[in-house]
Amino acid sequence: MTSAATDRETGTDEPNPSGALSELIREANVRGLSYRKMAARAADPDGELKLTSAYLQRLVENPPVKPPNPAQLRAIGAALGVSDSIPKRAAAEQWLEYQATELAGYGDEVRIIVAHLAGMTDLDLKRWRAMIEADERARRDGA
């Protein structure tokens, strides 16, 4: 899907490439956050990395083949004023065609189990659900 979006710094209509990270940055720009302002805030909190306005604009207009690295994603999070997890999920969706689901409040064990279940067939999921429910009944009944 391609639609025109006016660049706040250049005033030109640029195509909107499909891609979750590109769209995340583009939407911030459309809401009034210029690429220059983003770049001023785009520092990796864990290091010395700073992103330029040209890099951020390129992510929107002509995304590279390779996704940004973890430090760049942290800097993008800082630029947009959002948690690191938001640009990481968007990058995973854009470059890996992977949609992450947040399991807030659960530990790594639950996340790992859910990740394994997500790749199973419907028949396997039904079997695992029956086993989990049988275990819950046994615990409840004191077996």
Q: Between 15 and 83, whose confidence is greater? A: 83
Radius of gyration of the chain (CA): 21
Which residues does 91 contact at the CB level (< 8 Å), separation at least 6? 20, 21, 67, 68, 73
- Residue 42 pLDDT: 95
Question: Does the pLDDT value for residue 101 go beyond 70?
Answer: no
Q: Between 121 and 69, whose confidence is greater? A: 69
- Residue 12 pLDDT: 41
Q: Is the pTM of this model over 0.85?
A: no
- Using CA atoms, how far residue 22 sits from 61, 68, 118, in Å, is 8, 11, 26
pLDDT by residue (tens digit) across 55-92?
999 999 999 999 999 999 999 999 999 988 889 989 99
Q: Say whether 7 sits in a helix, a strand or coil.
A: coil
